[in-house]
Structure 1
């Protein structure tokens, strides 16, 4: 028998299908409590409405996902939100309070959609997001023996 610790299987699945050119991901499951994240569900609903009102629904799908592992345990509800798209940098913002205005999130969506590669300096983000940046991850470049695939 193998005595090595086994990697836990994510439940629910962390795989999220993308049906629009860009995707905004909002945590809806909490690794700290092992249950659903009510603030995440509230933010998800609010952000879907705001993206639609801003006329960005054709460019963005707003999806809930398993824990993005960027929140502070027992912090009372601030959320983690991520932006991703094919061939673009991925952005992750933390400590997003669903009770606060989300105009900065919508503005970031506009900026992100306009960039070919999704890359910008943190100082170019809407002001309230500058201090909440958890990660800016370069777009993945998959390389095979036959060459790069993007």
Structure 2
């Protein structure tokens, strides 16, 4: 004799209810997993967006700093060249004045040692040398 499985309606209902509950649980878990994945994806996109913006601002600031450094370097080079040019001009002015003084002495026949000048051609005249030159100019004017 063979036993055929005949299920009773209460047992079938329990199985159906259990299967439905399992199915709902799996769907809920799947929905939660999708929600987490979606949230993680949004978070990753937001991170990438903010990092892209920050990287852009960083590059902009870095380029501004580099441009400022280059401008300062050009200004330093210009000022250094200008200072060297001014030193040369000062030397030439002092030399021209001393040459004029010497020529004027020769023209006027002056040999007075009180009014003689000492040449200061080493790196331009110092403030003391300029004062002496002014005194010599006064000496030349008073001897006329």
Which interval holds the TM-score relative to the shorter structure?
Answer: under 0.3
Between Structure 1 and Structure 2, the one with more helix by share is: 2
Between Structure 1 and Structure 2, the one with more strand by share is: 1
Q: Which has the higher contact order (CA 8 A, sep 6+)?
A: 1
